[in-house]
Chains A and B, each alone.
Chain A
């Protein structure tokens, strides 16, 4: 599933990041959001907010739709 449709407050693992825009893709990479990274979606409005390690990021649905995740069992 994609991050913009993922359930709130569950442990998610990034499986893939779509790379149609180099700048977005690289920025996510540089911030440590890579396949294998664990993230938690904490909020969906007014923008998506997810937690990685000990920081949170605000992200719009366009970018959130480019991050594929799986829920950790």
Chain B
């Protein structure tokens, strides 16, 4: 007997924080960056699940999703995937203990006609609380497959796979009862469905419900209907907000009916004293701030700054590159192309290998590694949300919400990645303010590492403090000014607080690895292009012209002419400039080091961040920021130099 190879598509949907990405990994064997935090799964991840020899099932991991009437861009992306890819199975992954709150989406997906499998994940947390769900009864009543999983431990995944196969092969008979809405809504559903003649990826009933709630995507979908106008007229004849509320209410009641029978408390909750303690401390108005301080000091300053950017960088750079690689590279290319212009392309002071690869591997990678390790730990422990909560009031002064804390913190690692993550913020204004602050006053990990090295080396922390307070002042002033002069309402803050969890080392390592991989793929080519650009720029004397121009503002800030060159390289990578500064640190006075560190930090972001900025905002906005930031950075340098000189530093 021969089988043909079958191709199917499965989509994972669900709220953020329910472990979708871990399930995705378990199914496909590929780990996506887990979005423990709303919004860190920015891109859609696709993988292949193999079952036996005959099934290749494409699995799509979607961003957090609450409802088919979408609000955020990410939800719209998920909706598009559902409508356009028409998956053969939709896995609705939920946090089992929150079944009451999440079941309405399951019902909504069924109503739309999707072949839904309900995945009750994090089942262990439910059992810990002394609760239980009678799966087979629930499955019978819902008329859809229901699977319990503990994805972080791999429990229930085999069962889930076999249920997926039976659904995609159309061997499961779905039998869900229809939800009845209030009469006023049902009448209109009947009127609209009678007018819809075409076939859609979702049921006519679901489409009618979306139309009654004023959903714009649904209005777009039905625009080719003969009776489109009449449909819109019927849909528009009822208050959309009122209808949304009534529909949500009916679905929740239906969800409660299902759960009231099969979701029970069996024993008392098991106390986890340590977790409760950490939970209470991190959420406390004052102790929470102390924790933020401790994490900033020990995590960012000591671990990322001193260990990552100090110890690790020194080892890789001095003991490996300077001692064992660069001399041989120089000798090799000297023999091969010595004396020609091509020698400088690969070797010498600015060569692809001696500069590009060395900076990428020796200076940036260790910093990025230690930063992402820390970030993944904080993320998996459920701490990031608490950080947002603690800093929410402070961020409000800038017109931002606590949500913006995440891209800001991420910006301390990589501004490019952070700028991409701004798209998870809900308002345009908030995205703009955060992107601007990231571009001007948030130093990336690599840059900060080098600056800590330069200013901290002397053993006298004064320079570091001056740098820190100047940047902080600029950050605060820029935030206040941006809030004052950008239109729109202040962002509101609303986030789910996940319980404190002990991070699983395997997941943290995987996540760190994936982020580093993203970084390597995105960054190493840029370092190489930058080396090539520098080579071309020097060869054509274009750089001489630009550094010739940049030396004037450098002079005004009391810096040597050669700083012009470093500022220019700073654009190719923020840390290129900083690392260049490190190379000439011995020739500068403390005052010059502080001023140039400040100018470099404020100076325009690197090429990568700039190109992402153009994409996330607009070319015009990015250019306007550019036009503001460059003179502003130098002006701050000039003023700082004057102040320091006046104080006799």
A residues with a Cβ closer than 8 A to B are 17, 19, 21-32, 34-37, 43, 45-47, 49, 52-60, 62-63
Contact (Cβ within 8 A) B252 A59: no
- A23 with B71: in contact, given A32-B252, A43-B283, A54-B98 (CB under 8 Å)? yes
Who on chain B is nearest to A17 by CB?
B245
Question: B252 and A35: CB pair below 8 A?
Answer: no
Q: Which of B278-294 contact A (CB under 8 A)?
A: 283, 285, 288
Some 20 contacts from A to B, beta carbons below 8 A apart, are A19-B241, A23-B71, A25-B241, A25-B244, A29-B248, A30-B67, A30-B248, A34-B249, A46-B392, A46-B393, A53-B97, A54-B97, A54-B98, A57-B496, A58-B385, A59-B495, A60-B402, A60-B492, A62-B493, A63-B493
Inter-chain CA distance A57–B102, complex, in Å, is 15
A10–B131 CA distance with the chains assembled, in angstroms: 22
A27: chain B residues within 8 A (beta carbon): 66, 71, 494
* A49 lies within 8 A of B98 (CB): no
List of A residues within 8 angstroms of B496 by Cβ: 31, 55-58
Give the complex CA separation of A58 and B392 in angstroms.
Answer: 10
Name the contact of B494 in the complex, choosing from A32, A34, A52, A57 (C-beta under 8 A): A57
Query: In the complex, are the beta carbons of B492 and A29 less than 8 A apart?
Result: no
Interface contact B497-A56, CB-CB below 8 Å: yes
Instruction: Check B100–A32 contact: CB distance below 8 A.
Output: yes
Measured CB to CB, the nearest residue on chain B to A37 is B252
B259 to A, closest residue via Cβ = A53
Q: Is B55 an interface residue (CB 8 A)?
A: no
For residue B390, CB closer than 8 A to chain A, the reply is yes
Contacts of B30 in A (CB 8 A): none
Contacts of B252 in A (CB 8 A): 32, 34, 36-37
Residues of B within 8 A of A21 (CB): 489, 492
What residues of chain B lie closer than 8 Å to A32, measured between beta carbons? 100-102, 104, 252
Q: Is the interface of A mostly helix, strand, loop or mixed?
A: mixed
B86 within 8 A of A: no
The answer to whether A26 touches B244 (Cβ under 8 A) is: yes
* CB–CB A60/B396 < 8 A: yes
Q: Does B389 contact A (CB under 8 A)?
A: yes
Q: Is B69 an interface residue (CB 8 A)?
A: yes
Contact flags B170-181 to A (C-beta < 8 A → 1, else 0): 000000000000
Among the listed A52, A56, A63, which residue makes an inter-chain contact with B492, where contact means beta carbons less than 8 Å apart?
Answer: A63
Q: Which residues of A contact B97 (CB under 8 A)?
A: 53-55
CB distance from A55 to the nearest CB of B (A): 5
How many chain-B residues does the 8 Å CB contact rule pick out? 41
* Chain B nearest Cβ from A29, distance in angstroms: 4
Kindly identify which residue among B101, B244, B285, B494 contacts A60, using a CB–CB cutoff of 8 Å: B494
Closest to B249 in A: A34
Evaluate contact between B401 and A60: CB separation under 8 angstroms: yes
Supply 19 further A-B pairs (C-beta < 8 A) apart from A31-B101, A35-B249: A17-B245, A23-B71, A25-B241, A26-B69, A26-B244, A30-B66, A31-B66, A32-B104, A36-B252, A46-B288, A46-B389, A47-B389, A47-B393, A47-B402, A55-B101, A57-B496, A58-B493, A59-B494, A62-B492
Q: Report the separation of the CA atoms of residues A53 and B385 in the bound assembly, to the nearest whole angstrom.
A: 19
- For residue B98, which residues in chain A have a CB less than 8 angstroms away from its CB? 53-55
| B interface residues with partner A (beta carbon < 8 Å) | 66-67, 69, 71, 95, 97-98, 100-102, 104-105, 129, 131, 241, 244-245, 248-249, 252, 283, 285, 288, 385, 388-390, 392-393, 396, 401-402, 426, 489-490, 492-497
Roughly how many angstroms separate A20 CA and B40 CA in the complex, as a whole number?
Answer: 29
Nearest A residue to B214 via CB reads: A22
Give the Cβ gap from B13 to chain A, nearest Cβ, in Å: 13
Contacts of B100 in A (CB 8 A): 32, 53
Q: Are B245 and A45 in contact (CB under 8 A)?
A: no
Residues of the A chain whose Cβ atoms lie less than 8 Å from the Cβ of B248: 29-30, 34
Using Cβ atoms and an 8 Å threshold, which residues of chain A touch B497?
Answer: 49, 55-58
Decide if B249 touches A36 in the complex (CB within 8 Å): yes
Smallest distance from the beta carbon of A43 to chain B beta carbons, Å?
A: 7
The 9 A-B residue pairs whose C-beta atoms are closest, nearest first, are A30-B66, A32-B101, A60-B493, A45-B285, A30-B67, A54-B97, A56-B497, A29-B248, A58-B389
**Across-interface contacts of B241 in A (CB, < 8 A):** 19, 22, 25
Complex: A28 Cα to B285 Cα, angstroms: 24
Residue of chain B at shortest CB distance from A26: B71
* B-chain residues with CB within 8 Å of residue A63 when the two chains form the complex: 492-494
Which residues of chain B have C-beta atoms less than 8 A from A23's C-beta? 71, 426
A35 adjacent to B245 (CB under 8 Å): yes
Partner of B402, one of A29, A31, A34, A58: A58
Contacts of B385 in A (CB 8 A): 58
- The answer for the CA separation of A45 and B283 in the assembled complex, in Å, is 9
**Residues in B whose Cβ lies below 8 Å from that of A25:** 241, 244
Return chain B residues, CB-CB under 8 Å to A36. 249, 252
Contacts of A62 in B (CB 8 A): 490, 492-493
Chain B hits for A57, CB < 8 A: 494-497
CA distance A37 to B360 in the complex (A): 53
Q: Chain A CB within 10 Å — which of B69, B100, B248 has the most?
A: B248
Contacts of A29 in B (CB 8 A): 67, 244-245, 248
A45–B245 CA distance with the chains assembled, in angstroms: 29
From A36, which residue of chain B is reached at the shortest CB distance? B249
Assembly CA distance A29 to B388 (angstroms): 22
A54 CA / B18 CA spacing, docked (Å): 13
Contacts of A30 in B (CB 8 A): 66-67, 71, 105, 248
A62 to B11, CA, bound (A): 36
* B492 pairs with A24, CB closer than 8 A: yes
Q: Within the assembled complex, what's the spacing in Å between the Cα atoms of A54 and B496?
A: 11
Nearest residue, chain B, Cβ from A30: B66
Interface pair A28/B492, CB less than 8 Å apart: no
Give the chain B neighbours of A56 by CB distance below 8 A: 496-497
**Distance in Å from the Cβ of A66 to the closest Cβ of chain B?**
9
Q: A45 CA to B385 CA in the complex, in Å?
A: 15
For residue B298, give the distance in angstroms from its CB to the closest CB of chain A. Answer: 22
**Chain A positions within 8 Å of B288 at CB level:** 46
**C-alpha gap A23/B105 in the complex (Å):** 18
Q: In the docked arrangement, what's the CA distance between A19 and B241, Å?
A: 8
Residues in A whose Cβ lies below 8 Å from that of B283: 43, 49
